[in-house]
Amino acid sequence: MIGWTSRTPGLTEPRLVVCAPLPMEARALRRSLTPLLGPGAVLHTGFSGRRTARRLEELLPGRDFDALAVAGLGGGVTDGVASGDVVVASEVRGPDRTVPCPSAPLLAGQLRRAGFTVHCGPLATRDHVVWPAEHAELARSGVLAVDMESAHLATATGDRPFAAVRVVVDTPRDPLAGWGTPRRALYALRRLTEIGPPLAQWADVVGPRQVLLPAPRSFCAGVDRAIETVEQALARYGAPVYVRKQIVHNSHVIADLALRGAIFVEELDEVPDGATTVFSAHGVSPAVHADAADRGLDVIDATCPLVTKVHVEARRFTRGDATVLFIGHAGHEETDGTLDEAPGRITLVESVADAERIPVPDPEQVSYLMQTTLSLEESSEIVETLRRRFPALRGPGTDDICYATTNRQTALRAVAERADLVLVVGSANSSNSRRLVETAQRCGTRAHLVDDVSHVDLSWLVDARVVGVTAGASAPPFLVDEVLDALRGLGPLTVTEHRTTTESIRFTLPKEVS
C-alpha cells in the first residue's frame, strides 16, 4: 500500500487529498479543511469529464497521500433526495467502470451524527448536465445523484481509500433550471463548508488493520427457529401474520419481516379476532396463552425451547413452599413471562446487591432460576452470593444460561484482550448483545454495541489497529460482513477467525408450520 507513514509504532498519519471540481466548491471546502488538514489538502481540479482527471495528474506529482475524496455539489435524481441533503457514494458508476466505495457507510454515519440528512447509495458520473428527462431512468437503476467528475477523478486513487460526497442542489422536484436554483446552491455551499470535519475524521482512520473474528457469533438455533416460524406462517397462511412483541430483538430482522407482511404488536388486544398470531422467542405467561384461547386466535408459539425449559422449572419450583428467586433483568420479556408463571411467588434478583439483601422466610427452602441471556460472570457472582447466604440453595438441573450466550461470550473472551477495540453488532434491546459488550469491557477492552455499520463512530477507530468484531445471537450474519467490508474500505485488512466451538444444535419448528 502506497502512502502509509508511521506516526508512532502501530499507528499511521493519514493524509487526505480532496478534489473540488468548481472554484466555489474548493473555497467552501478549504474553509473547514485547511485548519484540519493543512493548506494543500483541497485541490481545485476543474469540471467536465476527463479533463478533471488530466488536471489532477498535473497536481499530484510529488504528493504522497493516503486517501482521496471528491466533494462538491451534485444533482439528485429521486424524490427521496432533497436539496441540501448529502449523498455519500457507495459506488461511483462511470462511463467505463464502476468504482466501489466500501467505507461509505462509516462516512455516512459520521455525517449523520454531525447533523446532516444523508443518503448512501450509487452516484453516477455523466459527461453532460443531467436534465429531468434522464432522472427516472437513473433512479430506476438505483442511482441517488449525479455529477460530472467523480468517476474520472477516482482513477487517481490506486488502491487507496476513496470517497465521493455530494451536497444536492437540484432534484426532480426542484430542477436546475428553476428560479430557486441560486438560493439552493448557496445553501448547498454552506452545507459543503460544514462537511469538512467528518471528512477529516474519515481520513484520520485510514490505514491497515487486523480484525479478530470470534466464532460462534450471530444467529443461534432459537433465533433461527423463531424467524423461520414467522416466515413459514406467512407462506402458509398469508399476510398479515401478527407477532406479539418483537420475534427476536433485532431491528433489521423486524424491518425485514414487516416488509413481508408481519405485523408486530405489543399486546393481544391489538390483534383482530381469529387472526394468526405468533408468540416471540422470549416466551409469554400463562395469562397470555389463556387470553389468546379466549379470543380464538390461531396461535403459533415460537418460544425458544431453552426459555420453555425455564418456564417448566418455574412451575416445578413453585409447587412447594420454597422461595423462588429469578436472576434476570426487569422489563425484559423473558423475565416478565417467567415471573408471571406464578405471580407473587417468584422474586426478581437483578444484582449482587439484591442477592445480599433479599429477605427469605426459610433459608433452607430457597431455589433459583436464571434468564437465559445473562453474562456468565454476572450470574456466577449472584449465585455465589446467594449460595453463601443460603447453603441449601437449589438450582436447575442444568444451567439456565443458553448455550449460545455461553459460547459467544467464551469466544469473545478468547480474543478481547488482544484487541484495541471490540464492536458488538446487535440492537440496543438485545440482552445477549449487551452482555457481550460487558464481557469485552471486563477484559479491559473498549467495546461498543452497534445496530449496524452506520453506527460505528469513526472516533473509536483512531487508535484501533486490532479490532474484534462479533454479533449477538439475534443479529443476522450479513451485518458482520458489512462491518468487515467497511473496514476494508479504510485500508488493508487482515481477518482472522478464532473458533472456540462449533454449534450443531437445531430446534424443530412448531407443529403449525412444520
Cite the active site residues: 334
Helix (H) or strand (E) holding 36: helix 23-37
Query: CB burial class (10 A; 0-12, 13-18, 19+) of residue 296?
Result: exposed
**Structural Rg of the chain based on CA atoms:** 28
Q: In what order do the strands lie in the sheet with 298-301?
A: 262-265, 241-244, 276-279, 298-301
Residues in the chain: 514
294: left (phi over 0), alpha (psi -120 to 50) or beta: alpha
Give the integer Cα–Cα distance in Å for 119 and 100.
Answer: 16
Beta bridge partners of residue 41, listed in sequence order? none
Kindly give the residue spans of alpha helices, DSSP state H, lying in 172-324: 181-194, 196-204, 221-237, 251-260, 286-295, 305-317
Residue with cell 480474543: 415
Phi, psi torsion values for 310, nearest 5 degrees: -65, -40
Contact indicator for 195, 166 with CB cutoff of 8 Å? no
Give the integer Cα–Cα distance in Å for 205 and 200.
Answer: 9
SS3 80: coil
SS3 471: strand
Helix (H) or strand (E) holding 467: strand 466-471
